[in-house]
Amino acid sequence: MFEVRLDDVHQRAATGVLPPDLLVDDLIRDAHRRYATDDEGVVADYIPILGRAEPSDFGLALVDVAGHAHEAGDVQRRFSLQSVSKAFVFALACERIGHAAVHANVGVNNTGLPFNSVIALELNDGSPMNPMVNAGAIATTAMIPAGSAEARWDIVLDGLSAFAGRELALDEEVYESESVTNHRNRAIAALLQSYGRLDEDPLESVDVYTRQCSLAVTAHDLAVMGATLADGGVNPVTGHRVVAADVARDTLAVLATTGMYETSGEWLYEIGLPAKSGVSGGIVAIAPGKGAVGAYSPRLDAAGNSVRGQRACAHLSRSLGLNLFASVARDEREEIG
């Protein structure tokens, strides 16, 4: 019989290492410099307060699994977490109710449609399809077991703070601005309820979801949160385990197929990393076993992904050898457009 020794398996599960710290510092600064004057894309304003973001802001951070930060630009600028929260709340839900329950109730396939699509629900018998679109995220948040919406919010806030390694706080202005304009999300929640896919009160479920989207974070925070997934669920800065290793792995699998909305395929093709973006301009891209990049720049493409953030991640994926599908670390191809 063919014998597999555990040591061998662990060695083969390794995905390689980052270059030395000083080189990572240089490459982050280089990626920042390259795209700092790129002014393609538009700042989102369908949530009115997001339109007040400074378009030229640009922060780029990489936190590795040793907990070291490598940064350039506006890495301490605060912005709201928005859809990036979906990735981490999904992990918190999986941790509490298990991989199979989330799969059965929410799904893990790409809708191929925008994040706030109502048609996607109608076309799929009310199934949200995945936890990274609004319908799936509202359903996922509502599945976290708790006695009340307030208790559920406490779990979400504590969990997201553990990912970030600091106590996160609500940006009250964003919460207010989104709460008075989120008619579409309320319609999505009502539709979920009509299909029997939401056990909790729809308005309360949207409210907890809106709060998670309104948490104030920085590009540095995103990198720490992502590095926790890269490190098998242990926050490499605080040393605390936030979720189990298999939950971190499952979260990354979902991010690879759905994290960048309907352009997740193009992202994976060019960059080769699980990632999640948010409409305020944040992106977290995770290199399992190595670390994560947190990017912030508020000008977005048509799908709602930060233009500079995507370009910087594409460049870093190549210069740092992060692409999960590459059998050779360096890729000298031209930049993507």
The site for ligand GLN (CB under 6 A) is made up of 82-83, 115-116, 134, 178, 185, 213, 278-279, 304
What three-state secondary structure class fits 22?
helix
Q: Minimal distance in Å, beta carbon 200 to ligand GLN?
A: 17
Structure tokens at 179: 């709460």
CB-wise, 92 or 189, nearer to ligand GLN? 189
CA 279 – CA 96 distance, rounded (Å): 27
Closest separation in Å from C-beta 277 to ligand GLN: 7
Residue of this chain nearest to ligand GLN (CB atom): 83
Pick the closer one to ligand GLN by CB: 18 or 87: 87
Question: CA of 195: how far to CAs of 147, 188, 201, 207, in Å?
Answer: 23, 11, 14, 20
Torsion, Cα of 132, 136, 138, 142 (10° steps): -120
The residue (of 117 and 134) whose beta carbon lies closer to ligand GLN is 134
Contacts of 16 (CB under 8 A, 6+ apart): 289, 290, 321, 329
Work out how close the CB of 213 gets to ligand GLN at its nearest, in angstroms, rounded to a whole number: 4
What amino acid is encoded at 60 in this protein?
A: L
Out of 106, 279, 284, 307, the active site residue is 279
| Token pair for 286 | 């995770």
**DSSP at 263:** G
Catalytic residue among 261, 276, 280, 297: 261
Catalytic residue among 43, 209, 242, 284: 209
Least Å distance, CB 318 to ligand GLN, is 26
Please identify, using beta-carbon distances, which residue of 87 and 234 lies nearer to ligand GLN.
Answer: 87
Candidate list 63, 65, 75, 83, residue with the active-site label: 83
117 is catalytic: no
**261 is a catalytic site residue:** yes
Is 209 one of the catalytic residues? yes
- Decide if 60 contacts 71 (C-beta within 8 A): yes
User: Which residues are part of the catalytic machinery?
Assistant: 83, 86, 209, 261, 279
